[in-house]
């Protein structure tokens, strides 16, 4: 979640809040290569957005707050949740890929 490199532990994983850097600035580990499986990230985003939208609709039905209040609350909340989940998802995926790769390298030796 804090974006640490799986090899050297430096906080170099994210170059933007939800974008993985091409490679680690500290140890030059190729992060872009490890992130190949992250194509599903788009799907995860849509799923999260759908859940948040249904939550927003439920709030609208039961509490019926004014529209401006909903925009003020939901817009940043959606952004924060989507970025948070994307970071979590990408980090988990990257670490898994790194472990798989490390195992493969050990097998070759």
**CB of residue 12 vs Zn ion: minimum separation in angstroms?**
6
Burial class (CB in 10 A: 0-12, 13-18, 19+), 92: exposed
**CB of residue 41 vs Zn ion: minimum separation in angstroms?**
21
Nearer to Zn ion, 5 or 94 (CB): 5
Interaction residues for Zn ion, span 22-51 (CB under 5 A) = 24, 26-27, 29
Nearer to Zn ion, 23 or 45 (CB): 23
Burial class (CB in 10 A: 0-12, 13-18, 19+), 45: middle
């Amino acid at each position: 979640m804090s974006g640490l490199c799986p090899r050297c532990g430096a906080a170099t994983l994210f170059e933007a809040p939800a974008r993985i850097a091409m490679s680690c600035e500290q140890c030059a580990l190729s992060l872009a290569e490890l992130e190949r499986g992250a194509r599903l990230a788009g799907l995860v985003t849509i799923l999260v957005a759908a859940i948040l939208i249904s939550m927003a609709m439920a709030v609208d039905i039961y509490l019926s707050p004014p529209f401006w209040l909903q925009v003020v609350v939901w817009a940043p909340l959606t952004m924060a949740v989507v970025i948070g989940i994307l970071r979590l998802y990408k980090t988990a995926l990257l670490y898994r890929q790194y472990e798989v790769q490390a195992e493969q390298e050990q097998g070759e030796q």
